[in-house]
A and B are shown apart, each in its own frame.
Chain A
């Protein structure tokens, strides 16, 4: 079945440093979504990318979809302690079923 690999699994940064997480697929994706889950919380939808080469920004967060639609990245500029959590990419399974396949997630720790 469809799989998406997400790296790194963990990242510890000093507050103010940048952070990036990557998702890669061996097959072409129709779209990719990004979610954030705070410790003890639930996944919260951040953004959806559908177009080849698409770049979207939300304040300090920059999301990118690769030209071949096989990879995506989330970059955070100048991390803050509020950025702590696990970031998941998720791709839609074929068939318009609503089924999401999540990456393993990247857990971000920020040292103040």
Chain B
């Protein structure tokens, strides 16, 4: 069982839709992350939140908009996505930034039609 919960597990959306991915952790971790993973590739970092503030944006297109409403929740708002954005989106958390193990959720498998 994973301690980082992501919803939904699967999402199919059209290029004009707006949807959101959600992530929740109750381990008291103060750093949260969004990753994108394509098939047979390693996870690629998208965003880092530290103490609910955005600390890293890896030059992600603005059609992806992260939000951290509180220390337990992390959202990723999606709008006008492209077919190449189809991937597994993973949320992770760690006690803090720095040299810490990261705990991953099961991910949301996103397909853009």
Give the interface of A toward B (CB within 8 A).
30-31, 33, 41-45, 48, 50, 88, 92, 96-100, 102-105, 107
**Which of A31, A103, A105 is within 8 Å of B99, CB to CB?**
A31
- Shortest B56–chain A CB gap in Å is 6
Size range of the interface on B? 20 to 34
Kindly list chain A residues whose C-beta atoms are within 8 Å of the C-beta of B104: 42-44
Q: Are B42 and A103 in contact (CB under 8 A)?
A: yes
Q: Which of B66-113 contact A (CB under 8 A)?
A: 90, 92, 94, 96-107
| Chain B interface, >50% SS class | loop
B55 at the interface (CB under 8 A from A): yes
The 3 closest A-B pairs by CB, nearest first: A98-B97, A102-B42, A96-B98
Given contacts A97-B56, A102-B43, contact A42 B99 (CB under 8 A): no
Q: Which residue of B lies closest to A107 (CB)?
A: B40
Kindly list chain A residues whose C-beta atoms are within 8 Å of the C-beta of B99: 30-31, 48, 50, 92, 96
B45 at the interface (CB under 8 A from A): yes
Kindly list chain A residues whose C-beta atoms are within 8 Å of the C-beta of B97: 96-98
Kindly list chain A residues whose C-beta atoms are within 8 Å of the C-beta of B98: 92, 96-98
Alpha-carbon distance between A41 and B40 when the two chains are bound, in angstroms: 12
- Shortest A109–chain B CB gap in Å is 13
Q: Are B107 and A99 in contact (CB under 8 A)?
A: no
Q: Mark B14-48, 1 if CB is under 8 A from A, else 0.
A: 00000000000000000101000000111101001
Kindly list chain B residues whose C-beta atoms are within 8 Å of the C-beta of A92: 98-99
Q: Are A42 and B55 in contact (CB under 8 A)?
A: no
